[in-house]
Amino acid sequence: MNLRDEEQGGYYGLVDFDLRVDKTAEKSCILNSRILWFFSRAALLTGRADVRQHACHAYRFLVEHCLDSQYGGLYWSLTCDGKPLDTTKHTYNQAFGIYALAAYYQLTGSREALALARELFALIESRCTDDQGYLEAFTRDWQPERNEKLSENGVLADRTMNTLLHVFEGYAGLYQAAPSREAAQAMRRILKIYAEKIYSPKLRRQLVFFDRHYRSIIDLYSYGHDIESSWLMDWGCGLLDDPALSGEIAAINSHLARAIYERAYRDHSVINECERGADDLTRVWWVQAEAVLGFVNEYAKSGDPAFARAAGDLWHYIQDNLVDKRPGSEWFWCLDEHRRPDPRRPIVEPWKCPYHNGRMCLELIRRNPDVQV
């Protein structure tokens, strides 16, 4: 709330480790969409008028600045005063726009927001797909582009698990807000890809980066994405009201959650990833938030008290270590294996806002209807 830009719209895009706000920093459209989603869902849950006003502020910035009126879709980023900076059109980014606009529609009943969400859905389905699934990066006028923004670990991927997960998330949010046959069909298509191409029964994990034909191009185990998928895919699949499909997906997700518990849950927290057999012991903020939800979700499914204990253990680790106690801050970006925060990592940046950790809180409250908010 304190980062609201009253002069140029949206929210300031960078707060460094020393809590200095950079009012000249770029404004990420993904960041704005995540902020819009969070304030919309938080206002729905709490009924707070001030939170609703922040959702409205983020919505206006998205509509007036983030959307490309000429070619359609959302830009990647803007200058601090709301002008196009990086005009890349990425499928991942469009998906978060859908997620945010659908939540805003649920909050306000805005037909404009719903129409925009459906336009982005149609855009992904028409521009960002081929006969095998979802493609990733495009120029402003929707010509194919190298997928550098969602590729990491020294590889360049044609398809990624991460983008597919969040397209599903955006579509599920749209289906939840305004069910349609088209959205349901697309969600089923993604779930089929998830079960047949992304999840490896042999490895009990998701594959991460692929060539165009779904051939894995790196031995990488993303612990955070696996535990996030384990509950998020269950949630979205459940909206389709298909017990057989839900059972199939739930079984995969239970394998993911249990594998994370066995392999990555150490010292009261979940480590980051494993590349070619070497573990990265960094404790990243979003991984801990998603692990709480993944373990809570698996406890609800299995009744295994080990997952309830692990979720509580993670919660205390977060409170004691990840939450930055300095006034005006929130969570550290990451901690090393000795629980020391990395001073090179900012507190707010284009990917970091109250999305993962805010969603953790909202989802825990949703699952406990007796909680007073």
Nearest CA to 140 among 80, 77, 73? 73
**Residue 68, C-beta contacts closer than 8 angstroms, at least 6 positions apart:** 74, 75, 84, 87, 89, 140
The stretch 149-176 carries a mean pLDDT of: 97
- Fold agreement between 1-155 and 222-364: yes
| Sequence spans of domains, the chain | 1-155, 222-364
pLDDT tens, 314-343?
Answer: 999 999 999 999 999 999 999 999 999 999
Q: What pLDDT does residue 368 have?
A: 87
- Buried b / exposed e across 339-352, counting CB within 10 Å, b at 16+? eebeeebbbbbbeb
Cα dihedral sign, 252-258-261-264: negative
% of the chain residues with pLDDT over 70 = 99
pLDDT band at 204 (very low <50, low <70, confident <90, very high): very high
Query: Which H/E stretch holds residue 137?
Result: strand 137-138
Instruction: Decide which of 369 and 274 is more confident.
Output: 274
Contacts 24+ apart (CB under 8 A), 176-182: 176/102, 176/106, 176/239, 177/102, 177/103, 177/105, 177/106, 177/114, 177/117, 178/102, 178/105, 178/114, 178/117, 178/118, 179/239, 182/121, 182/125
Number of residues in the chain: 373
| Fold classification of 1-155 (topology level) | Glycosyltransferase (1.50.10)
| CB-CB contact of 40 with 33 (8 Å) | no
Q: What pLDDT does residue 370 have?
A: 72
pLDDT band at 371 (very low <50, low <70, confident <90, very high): low
Q: What pLDDT does residue 54 have?
A: 98
For residue 44, pLDDT beyond 70 = yes
Q: What pLDDT does residue 124 have?
A: 98
| Fold classification of 222-364 (topology level) | Glycosyltransferase (1.50.10)
Q: What is the mean pLDDT of the chain?
A: 97
Q: What pLDDT does residue 358 have?
A: 97
Q: What pLDDT does residue 171 have?
A: 98
| CB-CB contact of 218 with 278 (8 Å) | no
For residue 49, pLDDT beyond 90 = yes
Q: What pLDDT does residue 372 have?
A: 63
For residue 373, pLDDT beyond 80 = no
- Angstrom CA distances, 150 to 153, 160, 212, stand at 10, 7, 14
For residue 369, pLDDT beyond 80 = no
**Residue 61, C-beta contacts closer than 8 angstroms, at least 6 positions apart:** 9, 10, 11, 27, 32, 82
The stretch 264-283 carries a mean pLDDT of: 98
Q: For residue 326, how many C-alpha atoms fall within 13 Å in the half-sphere facing its CB? A: 11
For residue 222, pLDDT beyond 70 = yes
Residue indicated by tokens 């959307």: 67
